[in-house]
Amino acid sequence: MSIASQPLPALGARTISATSRTALLLIDVVNPLDFPGAEALLRRAVPMARRIAALKARTRALGIPCIYVNDNFDCWQLGFHQLVDALRSSAAPGAPLLELLAPDPSADFYVLKPRHSGFFRTALEVLLERLEVQKLILTGLAGDICVLYTANDAYMRGFHVVVPRDCIASERDEDNEHALRQIERLLKADVSASTELDLARLAGGSVVSAATS
């Protein structure tokens, strides 16, 4: 049996299942938030993280896989779990986000990215193909930058995009709202609040992408 044909190690007997056609992406939530402008972002990010945590619990119960799509912060010598450990042991302003959204190494997936989009020179697309995912729920930081770029690249690749409006945050509210308007209008995305999403419907079935329109 080839490696590619073997069951994914994080799926097995757990509630996470490759039968779901949807994946939840947490973008840049493992984040020191120690850059200029991050103080304003942190004020919005903590309540956002609480809502993402609730959404993650709901998706987990439905077998929707969770993928951390995270910047490597130019730490090319570190892997994802090393970044998590470094942030956890630091006094960085973004540490409270990690307390709320700590990844589960036994179940969650991760992809490190070097730039804004989760698809740019990463293995994200390969992982999504391996999981047979058609729909993506995008959450995280920053709504007007990395979430927007990732949503655009997802749409261009034919994925159905969902961006819960209460699960992304930007430094300025007006920039966040502008990004949501662009995502909804140009990418044909669902930007309903997380509590309004029909996750059971998203977890199964197929959709026809609007990317060709």
3-state secondary structure 35-74: CCCHHHHHHHHHHHHHHHHHHHHHHHHCCCCEEEEEECCC
CATH number at residue 47: 3.40.50.850
Q: Per the domain annotation, does 63 fall within a domain? A: yes
Q: Per the domain annotation, does 8 fall within a domain? A: no
Q: Which residue has the tokens 């190494």?
A: 105
212 band by pLDDT with thresholds 50, 70 and 90: very low
Q: Per the domain annotation, does 14 fall within a domain? A: no
Q: Per the domain annotation, does 3 fall within a domain? A: no
Q: Per the domain annotation, does 9 fall within a domain? A: no
Q: Per the domain annotation, does 123 fall within a domain? A: yes
Residues 55 and 164: beta-carbon distance below 8 Å: yes
pLDDT at site 205: 55
Domain containing 184: what range? 26-203
pLDDT digit string (tens) for 26-83?
A: 999 999 999 988 999 999 999 999 999 999 999 999 999 999 999 998 888 889 999 9
Q: Per the domain annotation, does 137 fall within a domain? A: yes
Mean pLDDT is lowest, of 105-114, 116-125, 149-158, 199-208, for 199-208
* 204-205-206-210 Cα dihedral, nearest 10 degrees: -80
Phi, psi torsion values for 26, nearest 5 degrees: -105, 110
Instruction: Specify the number of domains making up the chain.
Output: 1
18 band by pLDDT with thresholds 50, 70 and 90: low
16 pLDDT exceeds 50?
no
pLDDT digit string (tens) for 121-163?
A: 999 999 999 999 999 999 999 999 999 999 999 999 999 999 9
Phi, psi torsion values for 67, nearest 5 degrees: -125, 120
Phi, psi torsion values for 135, nearest 5 degrees: -125, 140
